[in-house]
């Protein structure tokens, strides 16, 4: 799967307020070296000498493995580790906290330095938080039970008459309301709640990002199928970014780290290692 489409500049162009370009470089160990001073002695982290990283609980595969965001496994687990290493932190200088998806997007002080949790960069969210440079381009996808009427849909219009569940405040839910029909959208507190509703028959299909869709259809829900993916690009922003407190002193640092990971091909290698290939998945026009 393509980690970022085209170039980083093209990725940023999907959002009206892209992060500024960084002039930083990396030393042979991959650490960010510039006048930014991003490491444990910089005084920029919320807790002196410690980089605090947040994500939701549970931390789902394929983004994380074994619900352990600190083990460097899974796509976002690997990205988190690469970022802290580029900033100059060692593993014993990194702490992890559990923060619900919606809470991470709320305005006000944060008890973490950045949150990594499949958060789509949206201009409307920038009033409350900072976003890093993007680290992944994603499409939304539809999962249904095998043999159900929803599983036979081939277009977005055909899905308009079904009950489509998605996590509340997510771009998966926005994809339903904005691209299909507001009446079809049924919000749930978490993706796990939406998955349970699909199993119980309270919804006809589930909308999630496509790597999560592969995980659900391939492992989590027996007799489920990946119906197809939404077109790219579409009206919903489709790039994930790290979430930081508004005007965080680390925003430029983590963006520079991600830009260096993109430029040297690391993000693409992570995507190939941890995320399924979307080639051949039906596009629901």
Distance, CA of 166 to CA of 148 (rounded, Å): 18
Residue 7 has pLDDT above 90, yes or no: no
Mean pLDDT of the chain: 87
Residue 94 has pLDDT above 50, yes or no: yes
Q: What pLDDT is attached to residue 35?
A: 55
Domain spanning 8-136+239-274, CATH architecture: 3-Layer(aba) Sandwich (3.40)
Q: Does 8-136+239-274 match 140-229 in CATH topology?
A: yes
Q: What pLDDT is attached to residue 169?
A: 87
Q: What pLDDT is attached to residue 255?
A: 97
Distance, CA of 171 to CA of 155 (rounded, Å): 19
Residue 11 has pLDDT above 90, yes or no: no
Distance, CA of 260 to CA of 254 (rounded, Å): 10
Q: What pLDDT is attached to residue 17?
A: 33
Q: What pLDDT is attached to residue 21?
A: 41
Residue 4 backbone phi and psi in degrees, to 5: -145, 140
Residue 240 backbone phi and psi in degrees, to 5: -85, 145
How would residue 258 be classed by pLDDT, with cut points 50, 70 and 90? very high
Residue 9 has pLDDT above 50, yes or no: no
Between 200 and 277, the higher pLDDT residue:
200
Distance, CA of 211 to CA of 226 (rounded, Å): 10
Residue 151 backbone phi and psi in degrees, to 5: -65, -20
pLDDT digits (tens, 9 = 90+) for 206-221: 999 999 999 999 899 9
Residue 278 has pLDDT above 80, yes or no: no
How would residue 225 be classed by pLDDT, with cut points 50, 70 and 90? very high
Residue 20 has pLDDT above 60, yes or no: no
Q: What pLDDT is attached to residue 30?
A: 65
Distance, CA of 243 to CA of 119 (rounded, Å): 7
The full set of domain ranges for the chain reads 8-136+239-274, 140-229
Residue 188 backbone phi and psi in degrees, to 5: -135, 150
Cβ neighbourhood burial of 235 (10 Å; 0-12, 13-18, 19+):
exposed
* pLDDT (mean) for 263-279: 89
DSSP state of 18: P
For domain 140-229, the question of CATH label 3.40.190.10 is answered with yes
pTM, whole model, 2 decimals?
A: 0.76
pLDDT digits (tens, 9 = 90+) for 128-176: 999 999 999 888 999 999 999 999 999 999 999 999 999 998 989 999 9
Q: What pLDDT is attached to residue 34?
A: 52
Percent of the chain's residues with pLDDT above 70:
85
Q: What pLDDT is attached to residue 26?
A: 56
Q: What pLDDT is attached to residue 6?
A: 37
Give the DSSP H/E element, type plus range, for residue 213: helix 210-215
Which residues have C-beta within 8 Å of that of residue 103, sequence separation ≥ 6?
none
CA angle 75-78-81, nearest 5°? 150
């Amino acid at each position: 799967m393509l980690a970022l489409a085209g170039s980083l500049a093209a990725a940023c162009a999907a959002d009206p307020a892209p992060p500024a370009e960084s002039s930083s470089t990396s030393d042979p160990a991959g650490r960010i070296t510039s006048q930014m001073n991003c490491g444990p002695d910089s005084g920029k982290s919320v807790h002196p000498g410690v980089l605090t990283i947040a994500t939701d609980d549970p931390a789902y595969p394929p983004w994380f493995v074994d619900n352990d965001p600190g083990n460097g496994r899974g796509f976002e687990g690997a990205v988190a580790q690469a970022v802290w290493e580029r900033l100059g932190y060692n593993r014993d200088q990194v702490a992890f906290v559990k923060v619900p998806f919606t809470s991470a997007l709320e305005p006000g002080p944060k008890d973490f330095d950045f949150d990594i949790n499949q958060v789509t960069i949206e201009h409307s969210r920038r009033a409350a938080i900072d976003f890093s440079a993007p680290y992944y381009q994603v499409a939304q996808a539809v999962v249904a039970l095998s043999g159900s009427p929803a599983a036979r849909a081939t277009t977005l219009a055909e899905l308009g008459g079904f009950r489509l569940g998605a996590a509340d405040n997510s771009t998966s839910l926005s994809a339903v309301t904005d691209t299909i029909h507001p009446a079809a959208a049924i919000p749930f507190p978490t993706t796990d709640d939406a998955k349970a509703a699909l199993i119980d028959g309270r919804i006809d299909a589930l909308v999630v990002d496509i790597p999560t869709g592969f995980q659900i259809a391939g492992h989590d829900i027996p007799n489920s199928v990946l119906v197809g993916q939404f077109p790219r690009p579409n009206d919903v922003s489709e790039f994930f970014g790290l979430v930081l407190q508004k005007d965080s002193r680390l925003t430029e640092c983590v963006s520079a780290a991600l830009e260096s990971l993109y430029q040297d091909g690391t993000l693409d290698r992570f995507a190939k290692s941890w995320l399924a290939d979307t080639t051949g998945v039906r596009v629901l026009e």
